[in-house]
Amino acid sequence: MSKRLPLFLLALLVLAALVWGFLPGPVPVEMAAVTRGPLSVTVDEEGKTRVRERYAVSAPVAGYARRIDLKIGDAVAAGQTVAVLEPARSAGLDPRGEAQARAQVEAARAAARASHDAVAATLAEERLADQELARAEALFRDRFVAQAALDQARSRQQAGQANRRAAEQSARAADYQLAVAQAALVQAGRPARGDTVAVTAPVAGRVLAVPHESAGPVAAGQSLIEIGNPDSLEVVVEVLSTAAVRIAPGTRVSLDRWGGERPLDAVVRVVEPAGFTKISALGVEEQRVRVLADISTPAEVWHRLADGYRVEASFVVWHGDDVLQVPTSALFRQGNDWALYAVVDGRARLRPLRIGQRSGLAAQVLDGLAAGAQVIARPDDRIRDGVRVAAQ
């Protein structure tokens, strides 16, 4: 037995090593601690800068605009002439059109002569009716005619006056038609008579755009030049309507990735009361709302920003200075509640808990954990209640 004992112990040692080798080892996990500290809940969206007061100077009347010499970025003063309009030029006539226009002039002239002859005829009829009425009144006073004859004479006199007035109106209309026909014979391209119209800048600022730089015809209301103050910028952010209900005027905003070394501070001024539908990059219809914010950081920090620049806005909708919090990646759903795996004595233990506010990286713990507890930061399908774990 003394000779076989060492062999027996060696066999037991080999067997124990085999059993130990085939036992499941601890699952390597990434651990995180439950901590206390500041927590901010934000709504993050892309936005762009915009000149707050932008003035589009348009043509007050239709005409021919001279070339605008101002360039984008040039400074203008209030009341400075930024564009000059000439009266609209007449259209050209081909030989056939010119012949037709001359024929229309002759026709209008003949109609005008006929109208004036009609006026002369109605004047003669009116004088005759006046004479008949005077005779009828004299005979009625001497009781030689009846009242009916006097009424008929008075009616003819009134009808004559009405015919004369109508003939005069027709004669004036014929004169106007003649003037219109004669105006059609203006030489092609000849500018109409009249003074030029100077278009002035409503405010002092800089030129932001020149939609109509070259000389050419313009319609009334057509935009000629845009003026604004590039130092008075605001930020326009289109947020989802479900997030817009959490944003109010006065909400703090952090503007990041605008090109500077540190984020800029801003404050929400207006949340527009109407939303609109927008198609996302994935082709999904979204209801969005425009939110306008004013930059509160001193202008010398962001003086290189200009109109239409891209920024990333983070709206702080909730903030706490001393909040018990846990990484959001550690949470998962268990029915209708939230849960995570805590690490107790080297084993994973399922812990249901109640959470409050959530940000992208952390969540507020209301009940179920204490500060300093270790949790599994990213649990996977290998983690079960009671499984041995080890820090990765």
With cut-offs at 50, 70 and 90, classify the pLDDT of residue 188.
very low
Rounded distance between C-alpha atoms, residue 127 and residue 118, angstroms:
14
Is the model's pLDDT at 184 over the cut of 70? Answer: no
pLDDT tens by residue, 272-307: 999 999 998 888 999 999 999 999 999 889 988 888
Structure tokens at 177: 């038609």
What pLDDT, on the 0 to 100 scale, is given for residue 189? 44
With cut-offs at 50, 70 and 90, classify the pLDDT of residue 19.
low
Rounded distance between C-alpha atoms, residue 237 and residue 100, angstroms:
61
Rounded distance between C-alpha atoms, residue 240 and residue 271, angstroms:
12
Q: Which residues of 236-269 are buried (b: 16+ CB within 10 A; e: fewer)?
A: bbbbbeebbeebeeebbbbbeebeeeebbbbebe
pTM score: 0.60
- Which residue did the predictor score with more confidence, 195 or 40? 40
What pLDDT, on the 0 to 100 scale, is given for residue 24? 63
Pair 228, 54: CB distance under 8 Å: yes
pLDDT tens by residue, 97-143: 667 777 777 787 888 888 888 878 888 787 887 888 787 777 777 77
Is the model's pLDDT at 3 over the cut of 90? Answer: no
Conformation bin of residue 283: beta by default, left when phi > 0, alpha when psi is -120 to 50: left
What pLDDT, on the 0 to 100 scale, is given for residue 359? 85
Q: H or E element: which one contains 113?
A: helix 95-141
Rounded distance between C-alpha atoms, residue 392 and residue 376, angstroms:
11
pLDDT tens by residue, 46-99: 999 999 888 899 998 888 899 999 998 899 998 899 999 987 766 656 677 667
Work out the percent of the chain whose per-residue pLDDT is above 70: 90
Among 24-38, 65-79, 188-202, 250-264, where is mean pLDDT lowest?
188-202
Give Cβ neighbours of residue 45 (< 8 Å, ≥ 6 apart): 237, 238, 239, 240, 243, 312, 313, 315
DSSP string, 203-265: SSEEEEE-S--S-EEE-TT-EEEEEE-TTSEEEEEEEEHHHHTT--TT-EEEEESSSSSSPEE
pLDDT tens by residue, 228-278: 888 889 999 999 999 999 999 999 999 999 988 899 999 999 999 999 999
Q: What is the 3-state secondary structure (H, E, C) of 12-73?
A: HHHHHHHHHHHCCCCEEECEEECEEEEEEEEEEEEEEEEECCEEEEECCCCEEECCCCCCCC
What pLDDT, on the 0 to 100 scale, is given for residue 94? 64
Conformation bin of residue 194: beta by default, left when phi > 0, alpha when psi is -120 to 50: left
What pLDDT, on the 0 to 100 scale, is given for residue 124? 79
Rounded distance between C-alpha atoms, residue 197 and residue 63, angstroms:
9
Q: What's the mean pLDDT when you consider all of the chain?
A: 84
Is the model's pLDDT at 166 over the cut of 80? Answer: no
